[in-house]
A and B are shown apart, each in its own frame.
Chain A
């Protein structure tokens, strides 16, 4: 625990494309939220780990970082969503096509931004390197959001690093709480939410419903099928009940003393 550091950095790019491998005919869709295997790939790129290279073998970054606990919080979103646009690509070069021109239509995210929480154990060499690189704003390979033309940065508009460190404790919901990150949902979210409360004294509404966001996202690879293992995930600004069944929660406190709850998975 003494060597553990909970850090976050804000990853942003002009565009992003996290391809859904469900189908390949017609428009190619993107996940709205960065998912864990993609984030592990970015972290691997930052410290110079190799990517895919051999059939039947997981890439080096996945083998070395798959047990890392991460959390994702979307930034500058609209009810959890990012704007999307579609682009048609044409590739007419001969070596790309044995049977006519390549025409692809892809949906891409516009200005996606995520705060990525990572729990590092500095006794592990890779984690130590990651801590050092993220803090200094350094990367071995250029990180990108899904495609290498969508170069990503964790610097803010002023060119400063968005790297932050937090004090943290395991969070056991003893009271209602708000959750800053996307979380794995095991029960229908309506069972986890605190209903709207109205104060007759101050005539104000607490916990006014605004949105819940759902997406099935990859969390790791299915070892025998060698494909994404998808989990039902949610993101909401509702206050969640103290009786919630959401697990792996941490209460974190930043340098100015503000406290929030995140889920790491």
Chain B
């Protein structure tokens, strides 16, 4: 990713899932930015990035929602997104979605400003944290879009590596999708469930106490599946985990 120059406030795109289901993750992510000396702004008019409609074959509705975000984030400076999937949508798919539309340049200028959260932390802020937590063994799940679109997985893992009491055990199939895929999980439930079950088994095989990720969609899918299967697996957004490690008493 290209990194927009840092001057003025950092605008935070919370994602619709963090808003509705994982506000702790969103709050932690903003507190970390604040902790690192950034001036964080949360535009209240924001919402979903539009990816569900876009991927389901409803580009028109996706464009309507996309323009809402473009307007909510008017101004300058970076827009940080704590989700590889939403970041990829905002950064790479918005320009495609508007390729033949009069709003193209406005949208492209918006997309230019988008950075995935951990990519921003590592490559723009050069973040370092003091790990005050007890020793813990964790594993890491990469969302497909963090892995293949924003390329931000490395940054997230690098950050994790800097926490001295945290041991990272890698998944044997990190490259494989957890089966969420937004509406895929309800449109092709049989396949999606099979993928989610395999992911949960892979996580169990690591013997880790916590599975971390940078995508609330995957998190909801993985923990929901684990619970349904009766497994006691803790899942957490990496931002929330880090915030906990910095503030451990």
- Co-assembled chains A and B: no
- Please give the residue numbers on chain A whose beta carbons come within 8 Å of chain B beta carbons, in ascending order: none
